Amino acid sequence: MYKKYLFVNINHPSFEYDVNSIVKAFYPDRQVKVLTPESVSLREEFEEVKALGKEVSLEEIMIELTETGAVMTMRVEGSTPERFGAEYEWQSLAGTLTDGYDQYKAGFKTFLYKTLEHHAGKSLPWGNLTGIRPTKIAYGLLEEGKTAEEIHEYLQKKYFVSEEKALLSIDVAQRERELLSQIHYQGGYSLYVGIPFCPTTCLYCSFTSFPIAAYRKKVDAYLDCLIREMEFVSKTYQDKILDTIYIGGGTPTTLEPEQLEKLLFHLKKYFDFSQVKEFTVEAGRADSITRDKLKVLKKYGVSRISVNPQTMKQETLDIIGRKASVAQVLEAYRMAREEGFDNINMDLILGLPGETAEDVRHTIDAVVRLNPDSLTVHSLAIKRASKLANWIQEYGIQTLSNTDETMQIASEGAKRLGMKPYYLYRQKNMSGNFENVGYARPGKYGLYNILIMEEVQTIIALGAGCISKRVWPDGRIERSDSIKDVSLYLEKIDEMIERKRTLMCEGA
């Protein structure tokens, strides 16, 4: 496979993340490497690939930051006299590298974005925004009393966000603000329980998950450790109100019915559910859902579940290694309705290998016929830790196509179902530089999804590979992570609890 490299040489290390994010968004088919004086060894990968006789090309962006501005040059390998594009200069009008760092950084991102926009001949839907929470900006401005019109102008002028995305961001932020008015910010918290086991690992997945077949003998021990964490958290936060509970993974329904019973029994034993507004279990994979498991979930008051097809095209499911067939998705959904679940979410991914607009339309039409209560539409994100990254090296990124048209097909499908967007987030290396959007009918919104994105309430996470976040009254956020490896988590459960003690108790 022909491999294109794009090296970005920059003489200052502070902007590597933003540079990589913006450049990669403009040139998704390149292997983007950001080189600073401290990281020149990254060139070795290109030289090694080239030495193997493989077909490779190299383009370079040269960025020289000065105290008050920058010079940027683009060129192809070995042709210094022949400029690849033009040379652009920028002078900071608001701050220097040493005295006005934030202003300088904002100016530099503007300079970088506008230069690449000119060179590539295209704009990005989210402009030069590089964070994963674009609605956080709109949400914060609403809290300051800004009008929708003022926020719209701010997003377009400061970040070059498109008209459509600016309006979407404001719409979502307004709905989030209304929904979170019922949440106990300082006197409350939410709980996440991680079940890091899956039937198989999907091509695109980079989450902490382990094949259930290989780890089945450790599941009971894992649940025992979760129960120890439950006991500690419930006692430590006994004076706080529990607002939402989310059991995710992995795939929680890889647990056997009796293991689910054990998990949910102890949740009910240790925590006060009297003010819990939402209790979600990510059933996820249809090949892990049985009627007996659904009965257990219903017995313990689970109010919201997910049955996630990702696509309704069987050929794509086979490619991405998702063993649940379309027929199994239909059957799992039917069983969930029969067992009385009236808040079912379905996850879809746009931009999967080989899928066209017609494939997306087929999936949306099938989902509309099922009539779920909420819909989460993901733009495929290419994670370095996923098998997809290697797959792209073999087949090429051109096989992944996510466009304005496919996003619009999904949005229109949500409207046909009577849903409105209620949460939104982005990830690095997203197909088409788009976003993930949660849609739901009134009264079926996923509160936990908003809380995890907006970071306005403390969330305590139990289990391997999970991150707890404590939100202070001044908006400061402290984090505590757990070991990802299941075996190590079992060995070091006392240390995991001690980490939570430090996070939850210090300064209280």
Mean pLDDT for 335-356 is 93
The CA-atom distances, in angstroms, between 466 and each of 455, 479, 484 are: 15, 10, 7
Separation CA 104–CA 111 (nearest Å): 10
Q: Within 10 A of 100 (CB to CB), how many other CB atoms are there?
A: 15
Write down the pLDDT at residue 140: 92
The kind and range of the H/E element at 391 are helix 387-395
Write down the pLDDT at residue 50: 65
For residue 400, report the phi and psi dihedrals to the nearest 5 degrees: -105, 120
What is the number of helices (H) and of strands (E) in the chain?
Answer: 18, 18
138 pLDDT tier (thresholds 50, 70, 90): very high
Separation CA 430–CA 378 (nearest Å): 9
Range with lowest mean pLDDT among 170-174, 216-220, 350-354, 443-447: 350-354
Separation CA 30–CA 463 (nearest Å): 37
Mean pLDDT for 120-140 is 90
Q: For 186-208, what is each residue's pLDDT tens digit?
A: 899 999 999 999 877 665 555 55
Q: Enter the pTM of the model.
A: 0.88
Give me the amino acid identity at 117: E
Separation CA 480–CA 496 (nearest Å): 9
Look up residue 272 and give its two tokens: 């006060």
In the predicted structure, residue 80 carries a pLDDT above the cut 60: no
Mean pLDDT for 440-458 is 94
The CA-atom distances, in angstroms, between 455 and each of 137, 140, 159, 392, 466 are: 12, 12, 22, 33, 15
Separation CA 105–CA 167 (nearest Å): 26
Separation CA 420–CA 424 (nearest Å): 12
In the predicted structure, residue 376 carries a pLDDT above the cut 50: yes
Under 8 Å CB-to-CB from 307, ≥6 apart: which residues?
283, 284, 286, 289, 329, 332, 333, 336, 344, 345, 346, 372
Q: Are 341 and 386 in contact (CB under 8 A)?
A: no
Write down the pLDDT at residue 363: 97
Give me the amino acid identity at 505: C
458 pLDDT tier (thresholds 50, 70, 90): very high
Write down the pLDDT at residue 75: 59
In the predicted structure, residue 380 carries a pLDDT above the cut 60: yes
Give me the amino acid identity at 85: G
Write down the pLDDT at residue 85: 44
Choose between 456 and 279: higher pLDDT: 279
At residue 401, the 3 state secondary structure works out as: coil
397 pLDDT tier (thresholds 50, 70, 90): low
Scan for tokens 């200069």, then name that residue. Answer: 89
382 pLDDT tier (thresholds 50, 70, 90): low
The kind and range of the H/E element at 240 are none
Separation CA 60–CA 84 (nearest Å): 9
Among residues 424, 417, 435, 452, which one has the least CA distance to residue 345? 417
Look up residue 188 and give its two tokens: 């409350």
Phi-psi region of 355 (alpha: psi -120 to 50; beta: other; left: phi over 0): beta
Question: What is the Cα 391 distance to its own chain's centre?
Answer: 20
Per-residue DSSP letter, 287: G
The distance in angstroms from the start CA to the end CA of the chain is 57
Q: Within 10 A of 249 (CB to CB), how many other CB atoms are there?
A: 25
Per-residue DSSP letter, 119: H
Buried b (16+ CB within 10 A) or exposed e, 234-248: bebbeebebbbbbbb
- The percent helix, strand, coil of the chain (3-state, each to 5) is 45, 20, 30
